[in-house]
Structure 1
Amino acid sequence: MPAPAPTLAPAAQWDRSLDALVLIVEDEAEITDIIAAYLEREGLRTLRAIDGPAALDLHRSARPDLVLLDVQLPGLDGWSVLSQLRQRGDTPVIMLTALDQDLDKLTALRMGADDYVVKPFNPAEVAARVRAVLRRTLRGTRPDAAPVLRVGPLVIDLATHAVHVEGDGYSHELLLTLTEFKLLHCMALAPTRIFSRSELMHECLPESEALERTVDSHVSKLRRKLDDVGMGHVPASVRGVGYRLMADR
């Protein structure tokens, strides 16, 4: 039998990040082409700006869901653009830069950037970070959305962070840490999808400096807690790739 699809409250099913609009602000066309290709493969829409003034104009007219912003731009540098974007509102911004000093990273975060990627970068990682930021900022924003997610015997309450495993005549509550809850919730939204360690780290530990193996530790602890209430081998490991909540079989 196939793994159970999530029978979700509308909030969990409605994910604006699936077709979000990303404004790429980068003056090197080759880099823009690569990033755009990876984002569009993820189902995202893209716009392009080659300098600071054009970025601000497109942000005002197109109202993108996220801005990928290079620091070294003609016309108006990325710091100045970020400052003006923050004066306008809270559009998520991920900085792209060749500057890898800690001070530059701290400057970006203090000015209101949501993430920071140093060149040269892996475009797949950039796409994963974009999706992670979009999920955090866009998911579940409808006011009428109910906060309960159900996947098989799992019942995940998004408002109280309570998790229960239910069956005929029984209900067991799982006592999870915040990180374990985030990992479970992330995978439960697409229970048969394989999530890479990098994606889970950026989704569930966005402010952490932890290594990817830290994800393994959190998943292992989550798996033991699920096993204690009769859900063995959940989440499932996919060798060399990452994890998924349930196998599609």
Structure 2
Amino acid sequence: MTGYTLAPDGPTTPGRTADVLVARHRRLPRDRMGHRLTASGRSLIGQALVTTYGPRAGVAPGALVRDAHRRWSVPSLGLNASVAHCGEFSAVAFAPAAHAIGVDVQDERDRPYALRWLGDLLARQEPATIRDFAECEALIKASHLTKETFAGTRLPEWRPGWRPMDERAGAEGVTGGRSGTGTGAGSAMGTKPAPPSGTGTGTEAAPGAQAPSASETAPPPPTPTYHVRSLVLRPEGAPPLHLALACDAPVPVRFHHLERE
């Protein structure tokens, strides 16, 4: 195995840095149709833990859990995780448990129908790009959006580094932390506006009922806006790859690359 690690792309503080491991698996077995057989997501995360953090980070398969939105975490290590694979490449991202993380990797295969469909979903006048495709997949993995509730989401204009979703979407921006929900009416998160006062469904107490306490009527704390970022990898002897990340904060990222024989 050969590989390298890049220094974090921003100032680091304890518990704030995300790690992303991109691995190339050169000798994957193939099925009878010639398609590569990739390891399971659970297996890839387990391998990446040891590669990224050392042997002490090795955990039993049962230590990796998924929540109701199918997001991975490693509670015993205080980490959230996300995984993707494309051909002989895999990508695994880890973030401190306080942050949601999503990763995706896509090659430049021709897929006109999928990109046209995604372009319509993003309200574009033209088909989406492979970069858009990867960023949307990463966003779905980090948030509790699904392909069915993605309508209304808008990606901010591309530039290097993290870009907050609300740059483009405004009031309909994708917000919400690991367990939060969006707060804008009509947002992609599917939240509903509060009913108008005087309709009988507001906060007025019924006659004889005890008024709710201030803590019960206080609005929930604001939730952070998701951020996305992407870059192009140019592996030797292979087509370019688009690597995308989504997170609920613009945390510093440390990139690792590994070549497995």
> Which category describes the TM-score, using the shorter chain as reference length?
under 0.3
What is the TM-score with the length of structure 1 in the denominator?
A: 0.27
What is the TM-score with the length of structure 2 in the denominator?
A: 0.26
Pick 1 or 2: higher relative contact order, CA cutoff 8 A, min separation 6: 2
